[in-house]
């Protein structure tokens, strides 16, 4: 466990071993067909812990909670968009939906060199919330961590009595007190909607990266120790979209590693042109051997974000058999991103005003 860092930005390769090691369950092909969202179909959501509870709720039309969040420690990139897409999907399926924008967490868990003050985290929160609203979230779906009911904070403090120093150190390998507090808030985020002051105990689902599973297990352990008869929260695990360069993870702290939701036409063109590709040394060789879509960052963007699975299949096959060149694939990707993001960005002017009100008033 010690070599998986929940705050790091190293690429985490999700393989059968990791799923087995953490005791997760892979989604089967028949599971995947039940959920009409491409993130399941394309194996981007690939494993879970206790998802059957949520399936039961869905088939029995019973209430369940979803909680997702982002720490407002930077600008949003395409990697965040995946979390937001699945949030909107479960909301459509009827989940009681909570999206936390974690400004306190962002300040506490990041070094001062990155987030020097709560004020800075709130600046990012305005930006992040504006994007969430533009992507289709409702004002009521979102809460800012620093503007909750007192019961929420009391609950976060209450949790501190339910974990020991040694447990924390075993999970995280350190005992940074700011990060400890950030974790208390994260546990409270996931569990508080089940309290009687908010709803009642019921199944809940949270999507996370597989490297955050230590949090998930700690959170379930805490749920067991609290006196509120909480249901153990369920989790689904995403495969992270990788960086535009080879062997990295998209990260808000490395601007060139990702396409950001604020990027303009020129940014997109430049970044995709420079992105690592699965093409061959020469066009001649490419036509002969075919490209490698699995290694191609432009293809990966389509895989994670383009809504049309048939189209992606076609692009995949044509690239693989060499009919589609790297330049052509990049053009498809750029065109797709420019259309999607410019449409998205047109909404920001309106949503920024709402976001400012949420954070500042």
Q: Which CB atom, from 168 or from 336, has the smaller least distance to its own copies? A: 168
Question: Which of 93, 118, 202, 289 is the binder for its own copies (CB under 8 A)?
Answer: 118
Report, in Å, the least distance between residue 160 CB and its own copies. Answer: 4
Report, in Å, the least distance between residue 60 CB and its own copies. Answer: 33
Stretch that binds its own copies, among 7-15, 102-110, 198-206, 327-335 (CB under 8 A): 102-110
Stretch that binds its own copies, among 5-13, 150-158, 270-278, 333-341 (CB under 8 A): 150-158
User: What number of other Cβ atoms are within 10 A of residue 247's Cβ?
Assistant: 10
Q: Which CB atom, from 57 or from 156, has the smaller least distance to its own copies? A: 156
Cα–Cα distance, 150 to 145 (Å, whole number): 11
Q: Does 177 bind its own copies (CB under 8 A)?
A: yes
Question: Which of 12, 185, 232, 259 is the binder for its own copies (CB under 8 A)?
Answer: 185
Contacts of 228 (CB under 8 A, 6+ apart): 194, 195, 196, 201
User: Please, are residues 229 and 222 in contact by the beta-carbon 8 Å criterion?
Assistant: no
Stretch that binds its own copies, among 140-148, 206-214, 266-274, 277-285 (CB under 8 A): 140-148
Q: Does 350 bind its own copies (CB under 8 A)?
A: no
Four-point Cα dihedral 116, 254, 9, 300, nearest 10: 150
Stretch that binds its own copies, among 174-182, 287-295, 303-311, 332-340 (CB under 8 A): 174-182
Q: Which CB atom, from 147 or from 265, has the smaller least distance to its own copies? A: 147
The interface mask with its own copies, positions 303-322, x = CB under 8 A, is: --------------------
Stretch that binds its own copies, among 100-108, 201-209, 280-288, 314-322 (CB under 8 A): 100-108
User: Please, are residues 135 and 344 in contact by the beta-carbon 8 Å criterion?
Assistant: yes
Buried b (16+ CB within 10 A) or exposed e, 91-102: bebebbbbbbbb
Which residue, 259, 253, 204, is CA-closest to 228?
204
Q: Which CB atom, from 92 or from 225, has the smaller least distance to its own copies? A: 225
| DSSP conformational letter for 230 | P
Residues binding its own copies: number (CB under 8 A): 31
Question: Which of 32, 114, 139, 151 is the binder for its own copies (CB under 8 A)?
Answer: 151
Question: Which of 1, 13, 170, 175 is the binder for its own copies (CB under 8 A)?
Answer: 175
Q: Does 107 bind its own copies (CB under 8 A)?
A: yes
Cα–Cα distances in angstroms (integers) from residue 8 to residues 62, 158, 244, 354, in the given order: 37, 28, 17, 32
Question: Which of 53, 77, 91, 148 is the binder for its own copies (CB under 8 A)?
Answer: 148
Q: Does 154 bind its own copies (CB under 8 A)?
A: yes
Alpha helices, DSSP H, located in 173-324 = 177-191, 213-225, 265-274, 283-289, 297-305, 309-320
Question: Which of 176, 221, 254, 352 is the binder for its own copies (CB under 8 A)?
Answer: 176
Q: Does 229 bind its own copies (CB under 8 A)?
A: no
Four-point Cα dihedral 346, 147, 192, 44, nearest 10: 30
251, containing H or E segment: none
Q: Which CB atom, from 23 or from 177, has the smaller least distance to its own copies? A: 177
Q: DSSP for 79-104?
A: HHHHHHHHHHHHHHTT-EEEEEEEHH
Q: Does 61 bind its own copies (CB under 8 A)?
A: no
Q: DSSP for 168-210?
A: HHHHHSS--HHHHHHHHHHHHHHHGGGSTTTS-S--EEEEEEG
Q: Does 216 bind its own copies (CB under 8 A)?
A: no
Q: Does 120 bind its own copies (CB under 8 A)?
A: no
Which residue, 59, 299, 332, is CA-closest to 203?
59
- Residues near its own copies (CB under 8 A) are 104, 107-108, 112, 117-118, 146-148, 150-151, 153-154, 156-158, 160-161, 163-165, 168, 175-178, 180-181, 184-185, 227
């Amino acid at each position: 466990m010690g070599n998986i860092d929940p705050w790091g930005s190293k690429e985490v390769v999700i393989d059968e071993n990791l799923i087995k090691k953490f005791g997760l369950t892979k989604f089967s092909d028949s599971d995947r067909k039940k959920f009409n969202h491409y993130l399941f179909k394309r194996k981007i959501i690939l494993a879970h812990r206790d998802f059957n509870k949520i399936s039961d709720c869905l088939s029995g039309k019973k209430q369940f909670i979803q909680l997702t969040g982002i720490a407002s420690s930077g600008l949003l990139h395409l990697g965040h968009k995946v979390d937001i897409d699945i949030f909107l999907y479960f909301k459509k399926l009827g989940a009681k939906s909570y999206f936390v924008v974690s400004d306190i967490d962002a300040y506490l868990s990041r070094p001062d060199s990155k987030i020097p003050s709560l004020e800075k985290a709130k600046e990012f929160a305005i930006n992040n919330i504006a994007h969430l609203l533009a992507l289709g979230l409702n004002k009521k779906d979102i809460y800012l961590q620093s503007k909750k009911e007192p019961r929420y904070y009391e609950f976060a403090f209450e949790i501190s009595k339910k974990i020991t120093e040694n447990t924390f150190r075993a999970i995280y390998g350190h005992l940074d007190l700011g990060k400890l507090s950030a974790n208390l808030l994260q546990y409270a985020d996931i569990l508080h909607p089940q309290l009687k002051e908010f709803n009642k105990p019921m199944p809940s689902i949270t999507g996370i990266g597989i490297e955050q599973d230590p949090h998930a297990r700690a959170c379930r352990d805490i749920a067991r120790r609290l006196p509120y008869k909480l249901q153990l929260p369920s989790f689904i695990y995403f495969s992270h979209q990788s960086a535009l360069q080879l062997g990295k993870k998209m990260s808000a702290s490395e601007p060139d590693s990702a396409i950001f939701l604020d990027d303009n036409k020129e940014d997109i063109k430049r970044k995709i042109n420079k992105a690592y590709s699965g093409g061959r040394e020469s066009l001649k060789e490419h036509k002969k051997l075919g490209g490698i879509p699995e290694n191609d960052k432009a293809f990966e963007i389509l895989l994670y974000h383009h809504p049309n699975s048939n189209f992606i299949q076609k692009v995949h096959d044509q690239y693989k058999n060499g009919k589609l060149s790297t330049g052509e694939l990049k053009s498809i990707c750029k065109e797709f991103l420019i259309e999607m993001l410019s449409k998205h960005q047109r909404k920001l002017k309106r949503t920024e005003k709402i976001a400012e009100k949420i954070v500042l008033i």
